[in-house]
Structure 1
Amino acid sequence: MRNQLFEELERRLLDDEDEDEVSASGCSAVTTSEWSETMQQLISPPPPAASAVQNPLSPSPTTSSSSTASSSASCSPPSATPSRQMLSDTVAAIVDGNLEAAAVNLSVLKRAANPHGDPEQRLTAMMVAALYSRIEQPPSSGALHHPFAELCSAEHLAATRMLYELSPCFKHALLAANLAILQATRDYPRIHILDFDLGQGSQYVSLIHAIGERHRHHPSARPSFIKITAVADPTSPFNSNNGSGGLRMVGDLLAKLAQRSGVGLRFNIVCRRVAELDEAALGCEPGEALAVNLAFVLSRVADESVTPTNPRDELLRRVKALGPRVVVLVEQDMNGNTAPFSARFAEACGHYGAQLESLEASLGRESVEREPVEACLARKAANSVAREGADRVERCEVFGKWRARMGMAGFRSVPLGPSVAEPVKARLAASLRSKPGFTVKEEAGGLCFRWLGRVLTVASAWR
């Protein structure tokens, strides 16, 4: 079966059909969603049927995951709605140690929750599950029951990729990152991209096509050559489900896609800890334009609030020492790192409420694709709300904090400008003609993607 899937995608990559429709904005004969669906089947085993999508109302601590929330004004229903007010009261009871009152509130909220209802009902279901997970945490009993095991599962990683492709705020933020790389490397025939979370490689489908198109429109220029280095930290739990074999398969297909697009490509895998990364280990060479892709990476790296070794700043120092032409940063915009529990919960309600509303606007209530994506968001919310210390493995920040951290690491902001912002705005408008509410605006050096005024994701470039 794996060979059949591989051969089918390879056949489509090597199809000789006319490609005049391909453009630098990311249109492709093989779409990123088709690519990701096939790569998921190739790389990851199908999840057990019983665990495909868990009931968000189940008080099981296995609904763990990540963190988020934004500093922008929320477009979600105000916190004064009955469900949100009772959720806030429940959080206050937990903070006061009154778990009996919290449990009573949660039993009432379960009746108002509906994981298939409107966005507010879905949010209530998500947050009830997260609070149950916090107050009913059992003793850890091995790696399979680790508090963040679900965030590192093949099922969750696949659903995360679906989120990146189906949510306009995630999808177009990644498009902005690609365009920033194109802009920074436009005068260089040799491009070296360091990627710390390659996944299924779907982000590079449109980038490779765009680089090929750039050469087609300027045939007198030297042919472009891309080197992609996938960095896999062997100590990171997020790398356990896509080992060297899976990465190599992704690299082989990217190489075939590049060949079809008239672009030379070399793919390398570096399995090293962050402290071991330098130019020699990463294969950096003179004359190449180095681009570092940190899309949705830094929020999953612990900082000084978790451990005095501060791996987050260590990674930034290592990247800065490489002298890259550009570093692209894409992150969810929310105060989910050092804020206390009650503030973090309020942020999570605002952020995930807006996420659920935006998915309903872009996909519709009956979309079957929403179920795995919202299960992914529920795991993220549970980890953000229910876990503390090292068990909280996704620690999102608002953009102002990322800007300060990048500055302290020696980076300066590179304005994205009209060459990035305008194509992104055009693509967003074209894909959501009859679905108002999504906006994009450049602010403080970042391209901010909003749903009804609330920033959900931000893309930025640094050097």
Structure 2
Amino acid sequence: MNNSQTHRLWPWPGFPTSSKALGSFGDANCMEQLLVYCANAIENNDATLSHQILWVINNIASPDGDSNQRLTCAFLRALIVRAAMIGTSEIVTAMARAMNYPNLAPQTHRFSVLELANFVDLTPWHRFGFTAANAAILDAVEGYSAIHIVDLSLTHCMQIPTLIDAIATRLDGPPLIKLTVAGLIEDIPPIVDLFSYDEMGLKLVNFARSRNISLVFKVIPCSSSDGFARLIEYLRILQQQQQLLAAHDEALVINCQMTLHCIPDETAINITNSDSPYNSFSSSCPVSSSSSSTSPLSARAMFLKAIRSLNPTTVVLVDEDAYFTTNDLVDRLRSAFNYLWIPYDTVDTFLPRGSKQRQWYEAYIRWKIENVIAHEGFDRVERQEPKGRWAERMREANFRAVAFGEAAATEVKIMLDEHAAGWGSKKAEDNLVLTWKGHNVVFATAWVPA
């Protein structure tokens, strides 16, 4: 089909209208199917069909409706953005104007530090990872006189004060803490309208001092698009310098909080041995026999390989248990639709309609949806993989999993008691998993060199 075809009346030939195909008109299954047909029409450059489906969705998915309607509306906007970006047709762009979307780009809020702290506290989405990771880190660093924490996080060190508090109370006395932060140069929400990393570091140093802990703060500006190459290079050089000094008792903790999915995977542009920023030391990185020595490695695989070469005391990996990496738009849309209903469903339990916080929260979700649906290549940073795939990656990089203890599970349950009744947690093999109404949301894992 193409732009020259005549206008088709609703329902148009070939479009399923039975309840078996679509479900009840307006329910989640129906909306998902409509979005899939719309995505296919856009990808096939079928302007007439795109226009008609967009019109139908717009009339049943209100931006102020229930959670399914708001979710569908967000996907609708993302599809229009995609159509406009790839130049599918002027008709789709005209449809966007007719739907009163003069600015389709999601207006994400720039948080103050206090606003971000409140945002993080709204749900267990981030707090779960903080709680589980802190418990794993405390177990791993017991007995060390110095702890070097490398923090890769999108929440600008919001986890660190509670970790400092916990370390300060350990029986063998407070250690020296070195904190190295990956300062992302990309604007990936939630975005803090602030201050500088130096100011943040000073606040953390003063907070640690109030707990009788000496803290050394360092920020390394870097990018997820090249696998945090500058951070890896800094850690490699630092480790070489330390090896020239007398042996000292220092734990190395790599804390990855919902950032590794931003590193390009195999569906993006591969980093080959010829142009990799890692190749100066990749030959010394131990990898398992299951890794292929002939296939080019993605930035994601190279990052884990490089981390393994540093021989860390522990690596904590926390991320969303979803699958957004496929290059097939329809598969990606289905996966995202069947995962990102969760934040829309949860927001109804704790924020009133019309509140500023709710607007900020849902703008953040809309940004994620647009990034998953409308963008490709390095611009698409929302490339989540399920916990099973991350476990494979870690094992391929020669790590082995460490199970969370009962103390960690108990801490998580205590934290969840502060939130709505739909939240829960479970152990899945060596993982801890956050759930909403029984559906997996976020997983936490801990790893050590094999």
Tell which structure's C-alpha radius of gyration is larger.
2
Q: Cα 1:206–1:222, aligned 2, differ >3 Å: closer, same or farther?
A: closer
- The answer (yes or no) to whether the contact 1:294–1:327 under 8 Å persists in 2 is yes
Separation of aligned partners in 1, 2:152 and 2:112: 14
Give the Å deviation of 1:414: 1.0
Distance 1:228 1:275 in 2: 15
Structure 1 runs not aligned, ≥5 long: 1-76, 140-149
**What is the CA distance between 1:402 and its match in structure 2?**
0.7
The equivalent residue for 2:157 is: 201
Task: Answer yes or no: is 1:229 the counterpart of 2:185.
Answer: no
Change (3 A) 1:359 1:233: closer
Structure 2 residue aligned with 1:332: 320
Q: Which residue of 2 aligns with 1:454?
A: 439
1:312 to 300, 305, 311: 300
Contact 2:154/2:259, CA 8 A, preserved across alignment: no
Relative contact order, higher structure (CA 8 A, sep 6+): 1
Deviations 1:73-93 (A, max 9, x none): xxxx99764333322322232
* 3-state SS of 1:109 partner: helix
For the residues of structure 2 that align with 1:92 and 1:136, how far apart are their CA atoms?
15
The aligned runs of 1:217-296 (5 Å cut-off) are 218=171, 221-232=172-183, 246-271=196-221, 273-274=230-231, 276-281=233-238, 286-296=248-258
User: Given residue 459 of structure 1, which amino acid in structure 2 is its aligned partner?
Assistant: A
1:318-397 matches, cutoff 5 A: 318-338=306-326, 340-365=328-353, 367-397=355-385
- Please report the TM-score for the alignment, with normalisation by the length of structure 1: 0.72
- State how far apart, in whole Å, the 2-side matches of 1:278 and 1:200 are: 20
User: In the aligned structure 2, how far is the partner of 1:157 from the partner of 1:202?
Assistant: 12
Cα distance change of structure 1 residues 92 and 138 upon mapping to structure 2, 3 Å threshold: closer
Q: Which runs of 5+ in 2 are unaligned?
A: 1-24, 88-104, 223-229, 272-297
Q: For residue 405 of structure 1, what is the amino acid of its counterpart?
A: R
1:1-38 Cα deviation digits (max 9, x unpaired): xxxxxxxxxxxxxxxxxxxxxxxxxxxxxxxxxxxxxx
Would the aligned equivalents of 1:228 and 1:265 in 2 still touch at CA under 8 Å?
Answer: yes
Provide the C-alpha distance between the structure 2 equivalents of 1:169 and 1:184, rounded to a whole number of angstroms: 24
Aligned to 1:213: 169
Q: Pick closer, same or farther for the CA change 1:260–1:449 going to 2, 3 Å.
A: same
User: In the alignment, residue 432 of structure 2 is paired with which amino acid?
Assistant: L
Residues in 1 aligned to 2:193 and 2:359: alpha-carbon distance in whole angstroms: 27
Aligned residues of 2:177 and 2:213 also touching (Cα < 8 A): yes
Q: TM-score of the superposition, structure 2-length normalised?
A: 0.74
Give 1:88's match in structure 2, choosing from 27, 32, 36: 36
Report the Cα offset of residue 327 of structure 1.
Answer: 0.6
Partner-residue secondary structure (3-state), 2:402: coil
Higher helix fraction (1 or 2):
1
Q: CA deviation at 1:365?
A: 4.2
Is 1:180 aligned to residue 142 of structure 2?
no
Q: Give the stretch that moved more between structures: 187-196 or 270-279.
A: 270-279
Corresponding letter in the other structure for 1:188: Y
Aligned partner of residue 137 in structure 1, secondary structure: helix
- Paired AA for residue 155 in structure 1: R
Residue 192 of structure 1 corresponds to which residue in structure 2? 148
Alignment check: 8 A CA contact 1:289 1:325 kept: yes
The alpha-carbon distance between structure 1 residues 275 and 183, as it changes in their structure 2 partners (threshold 3 A), is closer
| Equivalent residue, structure 2, for 1:437 | 422
Q: Which residue of the partner structure matches residue 110 of structure 2?
A: 155
Identify the residue that residue 69 of structure 2 maps to in structure 1: 121
Q: Which amino acid aligns with 2:72?
A: T
CA distance in 1: counterparts of 2:194 and 2:364, whole angstroms: 25
1:364 to partner: Cα distance:
4.6
Q: Deviation of residue 157 (structure 1)?
A: 10
1:168-193 residue CA offsets vs partner (Å, 9 max, x unmatched): 23321222112211121122231110
Note the alpha carbon deviations across 1:32-62, whole angstroms, 9 max, x for none: xxxxxxxxxxxxxxxxxxxxxxxxxxxxxxx
Alignment-mate amino acid for residue 166 of structure 2: A
How many Å apart are 1:444 and its aligned residue? 2.5
Shift of the alpha carbon at 1:111?
2.4
Alpha carbons of 1:284 and 1:405: their partners in 2 closer, same or farther (altered >3 Å)? farther
In structure 1, give the amino acid aligned to 2:252: L
Q: Percent identity?
A: 29
Aligned to 2:226: none
Distance in 2 separating the partners of 1:248 and 1:152: 27
Q: Distance in 2 between matches of 1:222 and 1:323?
A: 25
Deviations 1:379-420 (A, max 9, x none): 111110112223312211111111111111111111112121
The root-mean-square deviation of aligned C-alpha atoms, in Å, is 3.1
Decide whether the 8 Å contact of 2:154 with 2:188 is kept in 1: no
**Contact 1:162-1:373 at 8 Å conserved across structures:** no
What SS does the corresponding residue of 2:325 show, helix, strand or coil?
Answer: coil
Q: Distance in 2 between matches of 1:394 and 1:162?
A: 23
Counting only pairs closer than 5 Å after superposition, residues 380-419 of structure 1 correspond to structure 2 as 380-419=368-407
1:427–1:287 distance in 2 versus 1, CA, 3 Å: same
CA shift in 2, pair 1:287/1:78, >3 Å: farther
Query: After alignment, is 166-175 or 350-359 more displaced?
Result: 166-175
* Residue 263 (structure 1) shift: 1.4
